[in-house]
Amino acid sequence: MNNQSYKTDIISASPKTSGPEVTFINPNWYRPENSGFCIGHASALGETAYASFLKIKGVYDELVTDPYCAHKSRTRGFCKIVSCSDGETFQHQLLPLDQRHCQSENPEFENQSRELPALPLAEHFHEDVYGIVDAALRKCGLQHEPRPIQTKVHLQRLFATKEHPAMASPPQPHKDNAKFLYVAVLGKYNVAAVNNTLYDNNLSPIVEFELSPMEFFCLDDRRFYHHVDTVEVLSHCSEGYRDSLILEMLPL
């Protein structure tokens, strides 16, 4: 694996009080002739979305334990949003009663439908989720998609102790049954380096990187497998955590 030789599209921004100054290297990263992968800072999604990220950071303490996690080291919240575009503007609709999550290609629970805990959608919180989803859809070029787009939204905290490191779900390279996948890290505390690895469709590793808080990556799920390391606490600490936001975007 050679991180230097693999072509990566960088979407960077320097957050300022007057708004982010955005520099795009190949904003059409998602097109078939391009890399199919980008990495950047959350402020590159725009001032409104960046403000929503800052608000959502405060929700992780309210997440409930994932009922499918044996060591209770994962808390999460989940919702589904359907978005329709007229070519310029998205209209978003939360599906509040649908907590089913099925991934036919997920090796941990193939073709199983799981009922995941709901996001703690307090007043106006869904508007912040809409803002992030809207910006992510645009960065994937989906504002011109004629079909409705379903986005599965996952907020996830991996909580580790010295006795029990926290594994992501699933704990091996996988796809998420999406057209595009968006992953952002919103916070880390007392944990060692946690690397993400991307693989080609033959499961050969091609690039490895670590996200700092408020950084994201986005990829074409049909062109890559992906995996994230187990979360382990620093040697001098007894516990720690890593907070992430995951969007799985799929035209219906």
Whether 42 maps to a domain, the answer reads yes
Q: Where are the beta strands (DSSP E) in the chain?
A: 9-14, 21-24, 37-41, 64-65, 74-85, 90-94, 100-102, 113-115, 149-161, 180-189, 195-199, 205-210, 215-220, 225-228, 239-251
Q: Which domain holds residue 202?
A: 9-75+120-142+156-251
Whether 185 maps to a domain, the answer reads yes
- Residue 48's CATH number: 2.60.120.620
Per-residue pLDDT in tens (0 to 9) along the chain, 252 residues = 544 444 555 554 444 333 334 444 567 888 888 889 888 888 888 899 999 999 998 899 999 998 888 778 899 999 999 999 999 999 999 887 777 776 655 555 566 677 788 887 665 678 899 999 999 999 999 999 999 999 999 999 999 999 999 988 788 899 988 999 999 999 999 999 999 999 999 999 988 889 999 999 999 999 999 999 999 999 899 999 999 999 999 999
Whether 181 maps to a domain, the answer reads yes
Q: Specify the number of domains making up the chain.
A: 1
In whole angstroms, give the CA distance from residue 66 to residue 243: 14
Whether 110 maps to a domain, the answer reads no
Whether 113 maps to a domain, the answer reads no
Whether 96 maps to a domain, the answer reads no
Whether 57 maps to a domain, the answer reads yes
Whether 1 maps to a domain, the answer reads no
Q: Are 219 and 197 in contact (CB under 8 A)?
A: no
Residue (of 184, 186, 173) closest to 229 by Cα position: 173
